[in-house]
Each structure stands twice: as C-alpha cells, then as structure tokens.
Amino acid sequence: MASDDQKRRAAEAALAYVPEGCVLGVGTGSTVNHFIAALGRRRQPIAAAVSSSEASTRLLKAAGIDVIELNTAGDLEVYVDGADEATRHLQLIKGGGGALTREKIVAAASRRFVCIIDASKLVDVLGRFPLPVEVVPMARSYVARQLVRLGGQPVLREGGATDNGNVILDVHNLRIVDPKTLETEINQIAGVVANGLFARRGADLLLVGRDSGVETLTA
C-alpha cells in the first residue's frame, strides 16, 4: 500500500542531494509534489528549475522557484523524480502521471538522477504496473497492434492529450525480463514518442521511504 508519509520522507531526503545555487531538474507526481513543497521551504535556494510538466511548473512557481527552459539551461547537475516501479538495479517504470517523455528528456540531460519512491514501488521484476507508451495520435492503432505482437495488452488512457499533444497507451501483462532490450524495441516502433521504461538511463540513486526511515540504494 502506498503511504503518503513514506513519499514525504523520501522527498525530504532528496534535499541533501540538491546543491545550493544549482539549476535543478524536477519531475512530476505526488511524491515530487512533496519535494517541491520541501524545496520551497528550504533556506538554501536553487538558481532555477527545469520542469517535466505543466503541473510541476505551476507548483514550482507557486513555491517561489524560477522555472527555465531546458534549451537555455544546458546540462543539469541533478534531476529529482518519482517512479511507478523500481528495482534494486535502479531500473524504473515511469509515466503513471503521463509526463514520461519530458521526464526522459530531463533525466537524459542530467548528470545525476535521484529517484524518490515509497516502499510499495520497490519490485523484483518490472511489469506489474502497466507500461505507459506515449504515441502520436494518428499512429495509435498501428502502435497498439505492434505492442500486442510483443505480448502486451494496450489500453488507451482516458483523460485527454499529454502536455505534448499525444496519447498514452498503458500496456498490461508485459513480461519485462530484459528491460533495456524491451525499451529499445518499443522505441523503434514508428509513432512511439517515448516509453516509460527507464532502464538504459535508470536512476543513479534510489531513496525508498519506509515507515522506519529512508533506505538509500545506489547503482
């Protein structure tokens, strides 16, 4: 069972990895919302944030934090984000909040990815959480057929377009025995913008909020 206290604990622990005055990458989701709140309260300010979603941008600005474009920021020192599932090898499924493409871009541009989760997200094998795949709308049916060939059951996510104007297919029942290979395979389907496997560029540090404290896992 996900616990809000565990999320908050992991989020607050991530502050220790955020240097004062840095330009910081910030992800999306309820765990990150705790992180943004803690960042806003902190006495050592950051220079600015690069945000992975419109939702996080609104919260960052409300917390008094400047938000700048990745194109002007260049490479980032640190990226802090949550995940839907994580292994002890620091490979992830992300995209439950629909921000996977921008999250993947900001993670790729960052030297260190600090991932914050509650204990319910830690798994031995990825795939119980349906894998989100962001797709150009005109390719939806074609991509869905290819995902069925890979053994999955894609379901169109309700609730409108992503921040990039695309749709998301949530792929159920994939057997993710080799996350890196599957990540590449899905990326090669024409019409796929990004998929929620963060295996080729996983996290560098995983902070797992527990009732008793925070467990730190490194790559």
Query: In the window 150-209, what residues touch ligand 5RP (CB under 6 A)?
Result: none
Q: Which is nearer to ligand 5RP, 45 or 120 (CB)?
A: 120
Q: C-beta of 112: minimal distance to ligand 5RP in Å?
A: 17
Are the beta carbons of 2 and 84 closer than 8 angstroms? no
Q: C-beta of 85: minimal distance to ligand 5RP in Å?
A: 9
Are the beta carbons of 185 and 149 closer than 8 angstroms? no
Q: C-beta of 83: minimal distance to ligand 5RP in Å?
A: 5
Query: In the window 4-33, what residues touch ligand 5RP (CB under 6 A)?
Result: 27-31
Answer yes or no: 103 catalytic: yes
Q: C-beta of 103: minimal distance to ligand 5RP in Å?
A: 6
Query: In the window 75-134, what residues touch ligand 5RP (CB under 6 A)?
Result: 81-84, 94-100, 103
Distance CA 183, CA 189 (A): 11
Determine the size of the site formed for ligand 5RP (CB under 6 A). Answer: 17
Q: Which is nearer to ligand 5RP, 129 or 154 (CB)?
A: 129
Query: In the window 30-59, what residues touch ligand 5RP (CB under 6 A)?
Result: 30-31
For every residue of 22-86, DSSP letters joined together read -EEEE--SHHHHHHHHHHHH-SS--SEEEESSHHHHHHHHHTT--B--HHHH-SEEEEEE--SEE
Catalytic residue among 12, 85, 103, 134: 103
Dihedral of CA atoms 22, 19, 29, 128 in degrees, nearest 10, equals 120
Q: Strand 48-51 relative to strand 213-218: parallel, antiparallel, unpaired?
A: unpaired
Catalytic residue IDs: 103
> Which residues contact ligand 5RP (rule: CB under 6 A)?
27-31, 81-84, 94-100, 103
